[in-house]
Structure 1
C-alpha cells in the first residue's frame, strides 16, 4: 500500500500544481477529472492511488495557489482577501517574501491540522445538530462586529448588503452559467470582480520595482499567533457545513487586519486554507459529510481507503508542495521592471476571457456587477472586507434554512 500512496501523492502533486497555477481551475476540478477517468485508471492503479491523488491535489493546491495571486493579483476562490496584501507586497518588491510567508503558513497548518482534527472528531459529532443551526448566528455576529467598527458603518453595511445580494443572485441562478468550471465555477467571476478587477482598475501605475528577498519580516510571536488563529479558522470552516476558505478569510479580519498586519494575515489565511483540507477529510470519515468537491469525489470513488493512508498521502504532498512553492517564489525576479499598467490590463483581459469561457454570458454579467460593487470601497474609503458579504450572506441563508 505504501507504494500506492506514494504514487498517488506524486500524481496529486502534479494535478495540484496545475490547478494552483492556472486561475479558474480548482482542485475540485482535478478531482472530478480523476473520478471521471476512474474506470481507465483502475486498469493500471488500485483505488488507493486514485483516492490519494485526489487528496494530494487538494493539499498541493492550498500551497501553490498563492503564486498567481501574489504576482498577478488574480484571486482564487480560497484566497480572495489574502491576494490584497500579497500583491501589495509584490508591488513593493517583496513578492518572493509574500509567497514564502504563504508557504510557511500552509506548512504550519499541516502540523496543527492533526491535533485539531483529533479534537474535533472526539468532541463535535455529538454536538453537530446544534452546530449546524448556529453557524448563521456566528457569521451574523462577526459581520455585525466588522460593520460596527468600520470607518463608515453606513457604507460598510451598504456594501455588505449589496455584495450579499449579488452573491445570492449568482449562486441562485448559477444554472445559467456554462458548467466548464464546475458547479461552483460562478465563484470565479464573482470574486475576481470584487477582489481582482476592482483592485487592478485603481492599482498603482509605472514600473514594477526590482524584486528582492531579504528574509521574512515576521517576529516569532506573530508566526505563532497567525498559525494558531489561521488553523482554528480553517478547522471551523473545514468541519462546519456551508463554509469555505473565503469565509475563514473574512473571520480572520476581525482579529488580524490585512492592511495593518499584512504578513501575519497572509500566514494566517494560508494556514486556514490548508487546515480546511485536512478537516474536510476528518468530517468525511467521522460524520460522513462532504465539505468540498474533492470530498464528494473521494466519497464516490470505487473504494475509500483507510483515513491513515489518505493522511499520509496528504503529508507527502505537503512536503513536495512546500518545496515547489519555495522554488516558484523565485519567479518574483521575472516581474522586476515590468510595466504595471500593461500587466494590469493584460490580467483584466485574461480574467474577462476566462470568466466567459468558464461561465458564458452569465459569468460576464456577474463579473461586471461584481466589479461595480468592488469598486465602491475605494471610493468611500472603507476596507474591501465588506465585499465578503457575497459569501457570508449566502452562508447565513443556508444555515437558517433558506437554501
Structure 2
C-alpha cells in the first residue's frame, strides 16, 4: 500500500505539471520516471514506478483543461475542446469551462471501471474485425462533420489540406528534435490549427470579470454528455492508431459546438479520462500500447491490473479536487487586455515549439496557423481542421502509411 500511495503522489505532481504547461504530455513524465527509476526504486518498490506513470496520465487528462480555457492553447488531448472553452473565457466563464471538464473526467472515471471489465474479457476475440473497421468508421464521422458544416465544399477543402499537413508532419516527424518524446511534433501542428489561429483574431478590450459560480448544465445533460464522451474515449482507447483528438473529432460530429459548447466540454473531459483507462485494458488484454505511458509501462515490472486501476481511481479523485480548486483562479484574468494576453501566449508557445521540436516544428507551426486561419475568412467552423489527425489514421488503417 505504501508503494501505491507514493506512486500516486508522484504521478499526481508530475501529471499536474504536464497538464498545466502546454506542449508537455504525460508521456514526457513517464520518460522522466524511467530515467530516474533507479533512485525511485531505492525509496519505494517497483510497483511505485508503474503506478506513478499511470497516475500522471490520469491526472493530466484533468489538468490540461486549465490552459485550454484560460489561455486558449491546446495540447493533443484538448485540440477541439479549446474552441468552446476559450469562448467561455471571453464570456467570463472560464472557471465554469474548467469545472465542466473536471466533472466530465470524474464521470468518465466512474463509467470506465465497469467498461474496463467488459472490454478486457469480450473484445480480444473480435480484434481482427475491429481493426478492419477503423478507417470506415472515421470516414463516416468525417463525412458527417463536413456535410453538417455551413459550406461542405470549404469544409472538405480545409479537412483535406489540414490532413495533408498532418500526413507530412507524421511522415517527416524524424526531422523534429523530439525534446519531449516522439509525440512532441503534434504540439506545433495542433497549436497552429486550434490555438494561434484563434488567438490572432482576439478582439481588443479587457477580459471580462470571471464569475466563480457553479455550472449551467443540468444533471441530466451532464449524464448525457458524460456518457457520450466516455463511450467515445473508451472506443478510441481500445482501437489502434487513434488518439484523444480522434475521440473529440467524433464528438464534434454529435454536438453542435456553437450551441452545445458546455456539453461538448463535459463530453471531451470524459473522453480523455476514459481513454486513459481503456488504453490500460488494451495493454493488459492484447498487449498493445496506445500511448507513450503504456510503452513505458511495458519496459518495467508490470503490477497486477487491479493495482493500477485502484491507483488510477485515487489519482482521478485527487486530480478532480485540484482542477476544481484551480478553476477558481480564473478571476486572476479579469481586466487583463485580451489581445495583449493573446500575443503573449503566442510568443510563449512559439518559443516552446522551437525548444521542443526545433526548426521543423516552427515550419509546421506556421503552415498549421495559415491553414487554421482559412475557416475564419470563409466563415465556417474550425472543426474540419481535425483532418490533421483523422486523415493520417484513415490512411494508416488502410495500409497506406
TM-score (norm 1): 0.98
| Counterpart-to-counterpart distance in 1, 2:225 and 2:202 | 27
Secondary structure in 1 matching 2:181: coil
Alignment of 1:55-134 (within 5 A): 55-134=54-133
Q: Residue deviations 1:289-336, cap 9 Å, x none?
A: 1000000001111x1000011111111111111111111111101000
Contact 2:236/2:243, CA 8 A, preserved across alignment: yes
Q: Report the equivalent of 2:293.
A: 294
SS at match of 1:184: helix
2:204 and 2:254 map into 1 onto residues whose CA distance is 31
How far apart, CA to CA, are the structure 1 residues paired with 2:313 and 2:123?
24
In 2, the alpha carbon distance for the partners of 1:347 and 1:102 equals: 22
Q: Which residue does 2:5 correspond to in 1?
A: 6
Q: Which runs of 5+ in 2 are unaligned?
A: none
Q: 1:385 aligns with which of 383, 386, 389?
A: 383
Greater Cα shift, 60-69 or 254-263: 254-263
3-state DSSP of counterpart to 2:182: coil
1:208 is matched with which residue? 207
Name 1:365's counterpart in structure 2.
363
TM-score (norm 2): 0.99
- What residue in structure 1 maps to residue 37 of structure 2? 38
Q: Distance in 1 between matches of 2:275 and 2:40?
A: 28
Note the aligned Cα RMSD (angstroms).
Answer: 0.8
1:149 is displaced (CA, Å) by: 2.1
Which residue pairs with 1:235 in the alignment? 234
Cα deviations by residue, 1:210-255 (Å, 9 ceiling, x for unpaired): 1112321002221111011000000011000000000011000111
Is residue 6–residue 44 contact of structure 2 (8 Å, CA) maintained in 1?
no
> Aligned partners of 1:216, 1:145: CA distance in 2, in Å?
29
Query: 1:199: how far off?
Result: 0.4
| DSSP-derived class of the 1:185 partner | helix
* Cα displacement (A) at 1:176: 0.5
Matched, 1:167 2:166: yes
Shift of residue 164, structure 1, vs aligned partner: 0.3
The alignment status of 1:315 with 2:283, answered yes or no, reads no
Alignment of 1:170-185 (within 5 A): 170-185=169-184
Give CA-to-partner distance per residue, 1:30-68, whole Å, 9 cap, x none: 001111212232222211111000000000000100001
Ranges of 4+ aligned residues in structure 1 off by more than 2 Å: none
Q: Is the 8 Å Cα contact of residues 241 and 393 (structure 2) preserved in structure 1?
A: yes
SS in 2 for 1:255: coil
Take 1:249 and 1:7, find their aligned partners in 2: how far apart are those partners?
33
1:279 maps to 278
Deviations 1:325-376 (A, max 9, x none): 1111111010000001110010011111111111110000000000000000
Q: Distance in 2 between matches of 1:216 and 1:198?
A: 28
Deviations 1:59-112 (A, max 9, x none): 000010000111000001100110111111111111111111111000000000
- For 1:340, the equivalent position in structure 2 comes to 338
2: CA distance, partners of 1:59 / 1:392: 24
Match of 1:396 among 388, 394, 401: 394
Structure 2 SS opposite 1:202: coil
1:151 partner SS: coil
Alignment-derived partner of residue 188 in structure 1: 187
Q: Is the 8 A contact 2:212 2:331 kept in 1?
A: no
Deviations 1:259-280 (A, max 9, x none): 1101000000000000000001
| Conserved? CA contact 2:212–2:328, under 8 Å | no
* Secondary structure at 2:183 match in 1: coil
Give me the whole-angstrom Cα distance separating, in 1, the residues matched to 2:34 and 2:275: 21
